[in-house]
A and B are shown apart, each in its own frame.
Chain A
Amino acid sequence: MVMPDAERLCLALAEHLRTGLHPDTALVGIHTGGVWVAERLHAALGLKTPLGTLDVAFYRDDFSRSGLHAQLKPSDIPFDVEDRPIVIVDDVLYTGRTIRAAMNEIFDYGRPARIDLAVLIDRGGRELPVCPRWVAHALTLDPDKNLQLERSDAGVLSLRLIDA
């Protein structure tokens, strides 16, 4: 299966978002791939609120099964969440569990005005009632496949299909 060009999808996603955003909207990228996409969107849209980042490891629902993974990144929310519209940005949307964890984490910083979701790829397979507002590309993958966003040393994003 040929994967779509991730850089082009980032540009397309930025165009989708451009019309629907409030001036105070803050983007929050989910480590690691979601942060890369959020950085692209933040630059393309020229948002004035600084970019937020989340590592949802502390909020995952499979912690008691799989423990903490090795390379935790600190979450960084450099703006006041209270009453602010927020867009969660992730690379690949699958079960929706990561998004559930991210929303829980955001609420520990305050009560946002609203939360929307923007993703590069929607691969189907939802296990929670999570519906993105913006999707750059939708496709259906078998559960034995994983889609990963990668970044080259030169900073170029690409999508890779691997066995789960």
Chain B
Amino acid sequence: MRNPQLNSHGELQHLLTIDGLPREILAAILDTAAPFTEVAEREVKKLPLLRGKSVFNLFFENSTRTRTTFEIAAKRLSADVINLNISTSSTAKGETLLDTVDNLCAMQADMFVVRHAASGAPFLIAQHLAAMGLEHIHVINAGDGRHAHPTQGLLDMYTIRHYKKDFTGLTVAIIGDLLHSRVARSQIHALTALGVPELRVIGPKTLIPTDVAQLGVRVFHDMRAGLKDVDVVMMLRLQNERMQGALLPSPQEFFKYYGLTADKLECARPDAIVMHPGPMNRGVEIDSAVADGPHAVILPQVTFGIAVRMAVMSMLAGN
């Protein structure tokens, strides 16, 4: 079966997940994002690439940063952006996901940016569009359940490449709640595809998926051991709202063992960078001294996120 994200020419039609995307397409997205970063420096921060196109932000789950950066990206490309906060609209009145999509297609949508609590929801929409013969409408996954958050993974890769230039000599550690993290899944697929030789995950046994080693990563439960000589530290948010049952004794105890402090960070390389997808829980997974310290590249990640999303939207719209 063809990769559902690619069209018959092997070009990116939708962005649903990083899993299974060839390295060339990942590299092309990162290369394309670079010239978009310069647009933020201009008097007029706008390009005409998506002029006359309608981008629908379909957020079935709350989000501030991701929705805002997608909105800015689309607006800088001159698209018309329509934000639907669906958790408080039609679905609450009983409309199905695909009925919502059909209605928006009838309003001449060109692109859907979808966040949904159910894994696979953006794929379902893409499949539905194909079945309806609406292949000209593109879907971008902005985070689905525990599955994937591909633009976050891509902006993380852009950030790493910006600071470290090359992936093929790096040791990278992903730390925290991997069990509930769609961000971590996208990061692992991207880092592996781009040729990172040493990929580690660090966290308590209850928050590391049992089969994660199959993805080619080394699992550490001791944070200092896992951080030794690491070039890139990728923190994850402790997903309080996803936490069910007694996976953790308390946020305080989590911080003691897995919170990133300046002291623990000393195990990593002196020029290590510290990343976080946001929103941060200060004093839970990361100490303020590190979050605001010289190793942190957390705010540049947000800025790069706009250029990466502009690149993805432009590539999809042109394919």
Contact = CB atoms under 8 A, between A and B. Distances in A.
Interface of A: 55, 58-59, 63-64, 66-68, 70-76, 81, 104, 107-110
Contacts of B43: 81, 108-110
A63 B49 contact: yes
Contacts of B34: 72, 74
A65 to B, nearest CB: 9
A108 B49 contact: no
Interface stretch (B90-98, B163-171, B240-248, B311-319): B311-319
The size class of the interface chain B forms with chain A is 20 to 34
Interface in B1-52: 11, 28, 31-32, 34-35, 37-38, 42-44, 46-49
Contacts of B44: 107-109
B49 A66 contact: no
Interface of B: 11, 28, 31-32, 34-35, 37-38, 42-44, 46-49, 314-315, 317-319
A72 B35 contact: yes
17 contacts: A58-B47, A59-B48, A63-B49, A63-B317, A64-B317, A67-B315, A68-B49, A70-B28, A72-B31, A72-B34, A72-B35, A74-B38, A75-B38, A108-B43, A109-B43, A109-B44, A110-B43
A76 B41 CA distance: 10
B47 A59 contact: yes
B318 A66 contact: yes
Nearest to A111: B43
Nearest to B11: A67
A67 to B, nearest CB: 3
Contacts of A110: 43
Chain B CB within 10 Å, residue with most, of A55, A67, A76, A104:
A67
